[in-house]
Amino acid sequence: MLVVDDSQTVRHCAERFLREGGHEVLLAEDGYQALALLHDFMPDLVFCDILMPRLDGYQTCAIIRRNPRFAHVPVLMLSSKDGVFDLARGRLAGAHDHLGKPFDRKQLLQAVQQHAAFLPTAS
């Protein structure tokens, strides 16, 4: 799993929840760092914040979708922005789904199960 968010608090919270769920986790603080990690490690699922400096979540998702090597990797947008326009813009960028912030452990792990049901776990 790759968690992309400019908030250290959100990154570490998601990391803790995912690790407790038995998943390996990579963290990125912006879209550029996420793209480098994606290229090097090929995660099974990407959680991507929408509002980030330099390269926002929509742009990051669109770049992932345009690359045939990564096009199959599910991208879930993370954001408190959950209006109809925001959800539609995420879909247009290629996001598979949206997870609202703040999220809890159960919501995050349900999203993983829904979008990556056959991922191996560390347990």
pTM for this structure?
0.90
Average pLDDT by consecutive 10-residue portion of the chain (123 residues)?
96 97 96 95 94 94 94 92 82 93 95 73 45
The 10s digit of each residue's pLDDT in 13-24 is 999 999 999 999
3-state secondary structure the chain: CEEECCCHHHHHHHHHHHHHCCCCCEEECCHHHHHHHHHHHCCCCEEEECCCCCCCHHHHHHHHHHCCCCCCCCEEEEECCCCHHHHHHHHHHCCCEEEECCCCHHHHHHHHHHHCCCCCCCC
Pick the CATH number of 2-115 from 3.40.640.10, 3.30.420.10, 3.40.50.2300, 2.40.10.10: 3.40.50.2300
| pLDDT tens-digit readout, 19-46 | 999 999 999 999 999 999 999 999 999 9
Domains in the chain: boundaries? 2-115
